[in-house]
Amino acid sequence: MSDAAPGNFVLPTTMTPAIADVLGLTIMQTAQLGRMFRDAGFDIKPKVEAEQAFVLHRFLLLALQHGDRWREEASADIAAQINKIQLAKIQDTNPVAGEGEV
């Protein structure tokens, strides 16, 4: 049984394949994803190190929670963020009729 508080995860002392996959992501992969998460509204500094740290942390939590299924969960998360970005762009270019009119 874990001593972790609810909502916290314990990092195992032995690396699992899922954790190795996440920690093996390259800066070229994580920086692009970090920019996408920032565009979706997450507070991430515009530095590749900050983008990589955000993505590794987010995906590491998925690996701890879902094990070998972390990639499927990450893909669903990425798709949801892309939808959020696209919806915001649509709303920016198509304001509600009558909005802002006096």
Q: Which residue stretches of 17-69 are H helix?
A: 17-23, 27-39, 48-66
Angle between helices 70-93 and 27-39 (to 10 degrees): 40
Q: Give 43's Cβ-side CA count (13 Å radius).
A: 0
pLDDT band at 6 (very low <50, low <70, confident <90, very high): low
Q: What is the mean pLDDT of residues 2-17?
A: 77
Say if CB 56 and CB 62 are below 8 A apart: no
pTM: 0.81
pLDDT of residue 86: 93
Question: Rounded to a whole number, what is the distance in angstroms from the first to the last CA of the chain?
Answer: 62
pLDDT of residue 1: 40
Q: Give percent of the chain with pLDDT exceeding 90.
A: 75
> C-alpha angle with apex 35: 29 to 39, nearest 5 degrees?
145
Q: State pLDDT tens for residues 13-35.
A: 999 999 999 999 999 999 999 99
> Can you tell me the distance from the alpha carbon of 13 to that of 73, in angstroms, rounded to the nearest whole number?
23
